[in-house]
Amino acid sequence: MSPTNGEKQLIPPDLLEILVCPLGKAPLRLEGETLVCTKCGLVYKIEDGIPNLLIEEAALPAGVSELKQLACYGEGSP
């Protein structure tokens, strides 16, 4: 493997594929330097190339003030 210049790959595509929102198990999409849940819109930070999927540290989407309002809420647990 040779080092690649230019484009900075934050998250390898194969890793991104298996990452899901811990709340509702929905897929995530890469948006800038964050991961955004395609279902509930929670914004997860990527720190040093490692996705931080802690719900407590994720940013709530606009218009949402608590986790209960999220589309993913309650989906992951019975």
Does 21 bind Zn ion (CB under 5 A)? Our answer is yes
Does 40 bind Zn ion (CB under 5 A)? Our answer is yes
Query: Pick from 63, 66, 40: which is nearest to 53 by CA?
Result: 40
Among 35, 36, 37, 53, binds Zn ion (CB under 5 A): 37
Ranges of H-type helices in 1-78:
13-18
| Structure tokens that stand for 11 in this block | 């998250």
- 65 vs 34: CA distance, rounded Å: 19
46-65 residues in contact with Zn ion (CB under 5 A) are: none
Among 24, 35, 36, 44, binds Zn ion (CB under 5 A): 24
Does 72 bind Zn ion (CB under 5 A)? Our answer is yes
Contact 42, 55 (CB under 8 A): yes
Among 28, 35, 36, 39, binds Zn ion (CB under 5 A): 39
